[in-house]
Structure 1
Amino acid sequence: MHSITLQADNRAEVAAALAQQHLIVACLCAAWCGTCASYRNAFEELARRHPEKYFLWVDIEDHADLVGDLDVENFPTLLIQQHETVAFFGTMVPDPNVAHRLIETIAGTDEAELQRLAASTAERRQWQQECNLRRLVGA
């Protein structure tokens, strides 16, 4: 599988996919960002390595209405979500091996532990309120 790029004409399709029981891995980037452009191939490779997960590429400027309130400090920013639990939201070193290990770790963590971790700090609790892609896209 490859990643899906959020477009104005595929939001309903993306919302339907996000509503499924896949681990969601979203990359939040901007078209003008050189680091994002170079990371795109690595993100596609991650999607091929993890075909059972849903990979979504989101240009934060094209979809400011969707992600405008998210605090994207640098690029690339990954958002990883399992069901309703946001497991990770932050800048990622543009190294696909680091992202692969993070994805594997989250995928191997049971739901109860992910929920415990999600409530463990103020920052993570804030992720649950502000970064849930299912809610942002309307899934």
Structure 2
Amino acid sequence: MHSLTLTTDNRAEIAASLAGPRWSVACLCAQWCGTCGTYRHTFEELAARHPDMQFVWIDIEDQADVVGDLDIDNFPTLLIQHDDNVAFFGTVLPDGSLAHRMITAQQALSADELAAQALSSDERRNWQRDCNLRTLLAEPG
């Protein structure tokens, strides 16, 4: 399995690939960012380690209509989501082992634990409202 790169031409295809009960991991980066360029290979390795998940690479400038008002402070920024539940949204160190552990820890949670976690803080409640990748892709571009 490899990651998909969101483009204007494949938006509907990627939205469809996220449907149903599945995990998705999106990396929000920028083409001009050297760290992102280096992290791209790491992200592909993560996708290979987690073939049951959908990995999506999103250039925040090329896809500004999708990422809209998301607060992206630094790169790389990961969005980890199960169904419509955003489990994580934030900047991570460009370390594949760290991202792998974070993904694995989220996957180990039950649906009830994920739901409780989603409501556990203002920040996480905001993620549910603002960062749902399915919703962002469904909105007209």
Which interval holds the TM-score relative to the shorter structure? over 0.9
**Which residue of the partner structure matches residue 35 of structure 1?**
35
Alpha-carbon offset, residue 22 of structure 1: 1.7
Alpha-carbon offset, residue 40 of structure 1: 0.3
Q: Aligned partner of 2:36: which letter?
A: C
TM-score, normalised to structure 2, is: 0.97
Q: Secondary structure at the match of 2:8?
A: coil
Alpha-carbon offset, residue 21 of structure 1: 2.0
**Which residue of the partner structure matches residue 47 of structure 1?**
47
Matched, 1:3 2:3: yes
The separation in 2 between residues aligned to 1:95 and 1:85, in whole angstroms, is 24
Alpha-carbon offset, residue 19 of structure 1: 1.1
Runs of 4+ in structure 1 off by over 3 angstroms are none
**Which residue of the partner structure matches residue 99 of structure 2?**
99
Q: Aligned partner of 1:96: which letter?
A: G
CA RMSD, aligned part only? 0.9
Equivalences for residues 1-139 of structure 1 within 5 A: 1-138=1-138
Structure 1's unaligned 5+ residue stretches are none
The separation in 2 between residues aligned to 1:117 and 1:32, in whole angstroms, is 34
Aligned residues: 139
TM-score, normalised to structure 1, is: 0.98
Alpha-carbon offset, residue 18 of structure 1: 1.1
Alpha-carbon offset, residue 20 of structure 1: 2.7
The separation in 2 between residues aligned to 1:84 and 1:22, in whole angstroms, is 9
Identity over aligned residues, as a percent?
A: 59
